Chains A and B, each alone.
Chain A
Amino acid sequence: MGFERNTKPLIEADNICKDYVSGAGVVSALRGVSLAIGCGEFVAIMGPSGSGKSTLMNIFGLLDRPSKGRLIYAGRDVSDLDINARAAIRNAQIGFIFQSYNLLPRLTALENVELPLVYAGVRRPERMKRAREMLDAVGLADRQAHWPNQLSGGEQQRVSIARSMIANPALVLADEPTGALDSKTGEAVIRLLADLVASGVSVVVVTHDETVAAKADRIVRMADGAVLPHRPEIARESATRDSTPR
């Protein structure tokens, strides 16, 4: 089952380069990255800071465009879409989870969860209903009317997970989702991400945390703007895990 999921990529980076022009000259953040994420696959990207993993995440999230190479999403080349077309895909297909949660301080928990649906043009009663279900799913049914500053870090991250899920995305990108949390609340977050994967969503997580990475189907290691080749022991490890039915 696990292998079958991996055979059909949801999103695929094909020899992607990303250069930034800075004062000193051109800086290459990505140097020819090729990486495919399967439907319903849980991938962890690891690497030291400056290795290009955030840049890759931005490109996977259609927040940024590659300087060179192609990005294929669901079989379609999306590298050259304009900013509004990319926003439309993000809105309907991609959920984001950030290390710093990024909840809007002047919206309640429920309204924060609703936000992607606001831009999808869903009407308010429907939005509220779905947002309640999402908050319920992350165990925050009693926190709907709370403001972000009234919630603990773990709770805020769960709200942001609910937000990332509400539009039924095919892909959820999590940038250091447990980075600001203690290990116990972090575990709860990881469990929610695992639930997402179980429901068929592809999840890509950037992390420094080996225990998070250990839960992933696959670990991609990056350095200096490139994906490192599979180390045999890791490949073996994840293969074993993959074949274990869950």
Chain B
Amino acid sequence: MNWLETLRVALRSIRANRMRSALTMLGIIIGVASVVTMIAIGSGARTKIAEQIRSLGAHVLMVLPEASSSQGVRQRAGSGQSLTEGDAAAIMAELPAVTAAAPSIRGVFQIVAGKRNWRTTVNGTTAEYFVIREWALAAGRYFTAEDTKGGERVALIGQTVAEELFPDFDSPVGQTLRIGHALVTVVGVLSEKGPTGSGRDQDDVVFLPISTVRQRLVGGSNQVNRDAVAYILAKAVSGQQLSVAEQQIAWLLRLRHDLREGQNDDFRVTNPAATMRAQTASTRVLSWLLASVASVSLVVGGISIMNIMLVSVAERRREIGLRLAVGARQKHIRMQFLTEALVLCVIGGLLGLMLGTVSTAILAYYANWPVYLSPTAMVLAMVFAGLTGLVFGYYPARKAAKSDPIECLRSE
């Protein structure tokens, strides 16, 4: 009796008890569907965070001024004016663990191009900024060190800005923007970065040389320190050098800011990727937790398989007796019932996979959750369903195989 034969017998008996088989499978269906959905949610969250880390650029550190305080009232983080362009230049020039550093100042402006206008963030920075963030060009060129030095009126625009202001142009490169009273020329369009973790659109931005922003836009009339910057981005030479770079930056800044021992830092060096990775770790724990709760339902499904298989064995004692009498070996009977349990679980698993895919799609669509349905997770769920069939089908199958043919034939 080959496996094809066994399979046919199993399918037949499943078909003969359609309602019962369907109810039995329900546990497995729900189990597999929830495992698949939970894994999809978990790995969706992880994939999203990984993407964010990648969009940030590799081994990037962010230096923020410490919150300013006046007469004991502390302002929000980054409100201080302790960091300067000079700090950024020094970090880049003097620290061996740092390959590049870029200062940045920001403001929100109404931008006009022809008959269209758009309100967005203007970021004044240096050419290093794009190296640090590994931000590629879609068209045109970056601005150069000369542009920065000379305060040239050049701009790089993000994808969103390009779409909003220049929907009818093949390329906005060479077009003119009016920002406040300043006219600037678009020299390049940046490639798409997508939203940040908190949902901010990274492509909704205009970059100008930092000197241009100071001279033409913010003017600095309300600033105590004309040289102050909002933050400095720094890139460590490698991932291993990140913490070294962090220490070196802190040491250099304390030195430059004339801070004595006992005085608090007036800046903060943060590692955004590490923060995100910590988030990943907690997401991972959560998704394992969810998946293990889901697999409990798979186990419950397995128990219902065992239950029904035991009923089936008891109901079909005459059949077992007859098969044994005409020469079935114990292994034939065992295989027959085991195959039946396995087929129930595999069919249930496939249905569960479909249900899981649908529910994942619904969550992604309506709740707008990031989901990722990996083929590995699907295969894993199926393997689990199959194992459930084997584990919980084994005892009833063994029981059937060990039956005494005489007693079976005598039973009603």
Whether both chains belong to one complex is answered with yes
Interface residues of chain A, those whose CB is within 8 Å of chain B, are 58, 61, 63-64, 83-84, 87-88, 90-92, 96, 98, 102, 104, 106, 115-116, 118-121, 124, 163, 167
Contacts beyond the supplied A91-B327, A96-B326, A118-B5: 10 A-B pairs with Cβ under 8 Å: A58-B406, A84-B331, A87-B328, A90-B327, A91-B326, A91-B328, A98-B409, A106-B12, A119-B327, A124-B5
Shortest beta-carbon distance, B401 to chain A, in Å?
A: 10
Beta-carbon contact of B329 and A102 below 8 Å: no
With A102-B318, A102-B322, A104-B319 known as contacts, the answer to whether A116 contacts B409 (CB < 8 A) is no
Beta-carbon contact of A87 and B409 below 8 Å: no
With A58-B406, A63-B405, A102-B409 known as contacts, the answer to whether A118 contacts B1 (CB < 8 A) is yes
Query: How many residues from B make CB contacts under 8 Å with A?
Result: 22
**B323 interfacial contact with A, CB 8 Å:** yes
A98 to B408, CA, bound (A): 13
Other-chain residue from B13, B330, B409 in contact with A106 (beta carbon distance below 8 A) = B13
**In the complex, which residues of chain A have a beta carbon less than 8 angstroms from the beta carbon of B323?**
115, 119
Shortest beta-carbon distance, B220 to chain A, in Å?
A: 90
Beta-carbon contact of B329 and A88 below 8 Å: yes
Q: Is the interface of A mostly helix, strand, loop or mixed?
A: helix
Beta-carbon contact of B330 and A83 below 8 Å: yes
Beta-carbon contact of B325 and A63 below 8 Å: yes
The residue on B at minimum CB distance from A61 is B325
What mask results when residues 310 to 324 of chain B are scored 1 for a CB within 8 Å of chain A, else 0?
000000001101111
**In the complex, which residues of chain A have a beta carbon less than 8 angstroms from the beta carbon of B327?**
87-88, 90-92, 116, 119-120, 167
Shortest beta-carbon distance, A134 to chain B, in Å?
A: 13
Beta-carbon contact of A96 and B325 below 8 Å: yes
**In the complex, which residues of chain B have a beta carbon less than 8 angstroms from the beta carbon of A115?**
322-323, 326
**B332 interfacial contact with A, CB 8 Å:** yes
Beta-carbon contact of B318 and A63 below 8 Å: no
Chosen A-B contacts, 24 in total, with CB atoms closer than 8 Å, are A58-B406, A63-B405, A63-B406, A87-B327, A88-B327, A91-B326, A91-B327, A91-B328, A92-B327, A96-B325, A98-B409, A102-B318, A102-B409, A104-B319, A106-B12, A115-B322, A115-B323, A116-B327, A118-B1, A118-B5, A119-B1, A119-B326, A124-B5, A167-B327
Q: Which of B172-213 contact A (CB under 8 A)?
A: none
Shortest beta-carbon distance, B395 to chain A, in Å?
A: 19
Beta-carbon contact of B326 and A90 below 8 Å: yes
**B16 interfacial contact with A, CB 8 Å:** yes
**In the complex, which residues of chain A have a beta carbon less than 8 angstroms from the beta carbon of B405?**
63
A83 to B334, CA, bound (A): 14
Beta-carbon contact of A119 and B329 below 8 Å: yes
Shortest beta-carbon distance, B192 to chain A, in Å?
A: 61
Shortest beta-carbon distance, B20 to chain A, in Å?
A: 14
Those 7 A-B pairs whose CB atoms lie nearest each other, nearest first: A91-B327, A116-B326, A119-B327, A84-B329, A102-B322, A119-B328, A90-B327
Shortest beta-carbon distance, B9 to chain A, in Å?
A: 9
Shortest beta-carbon distance, B10 to chain A, in Å?
A: 12
A163 to B328, CA, bound (A): 14
A167 to B325, CA, bound (A): 13
**In the complex, which residues of chain B have a beta carbon less than 8 angstroms from the beta carbon of A119?**
1, 323, 326-329, 332
**In the complex, which residues of chain B have a beta carbon less than 8 angstroms from the beta carbon of A106?**
12-13, 16
The residue on A at minimum CB distance from B402 is A83
Q: Which of B1-58 contact A (CB under 8 A)?
A: 1, 5, 12-13, 16
The residue on A at minimum CB distance from B16 is A106
Interface-centre pick from B12, B322, B323, B325 (highest chain A CB count, 10 A):
B325
A112 to B61, CA, bound (A): 78
**In the complex, which residues of chain A have a beta carbon less than 8 angstroms from the beta carbon of B321?**
102
**In the complex, which residues of chain A have a beta carbon less than 8 angstroms from the beta carbon of B1?**
118-119, 121
A118 to B327, CA, bound (A): 9
Shortest beta-carbon distance, B171 to chain A, in Å?
A: 70
Interface-centre pick from B13, B318, B327 (highest chain A CB count, 10 A):
B327
Interface-centre pick from B13, B321, B323, B331 (highest chain A CB count, 10 A):
B323
A104 to B323, CA, bound (A): 9
Q: Which of B129-176 contact A (CB under 8 A)?
A: none
A90 to B329, CA, bound (A): 10
Other-chain residue from B5, B16, B318, B324 in contact with A87 (beta carbon distance below 8 A) = B324
**In the complex, which residues of chain A have a beta carbon less than 8 angstroms from the beta carbon of B318?**
102
With A90-B325, A118-B5 known as contacts, the answer to whether A84 contacts B409 (CB < 8 A) is no
The residue on A at minimum CB distance from B5 is A118
Other-chain residue from B319, B326, B406 in contact with A64 (beta carbon distance below 8 A) = B406
A87 to B409, CA, bound (A): 15
The residue on B at minimum CB distance from A58 is B406
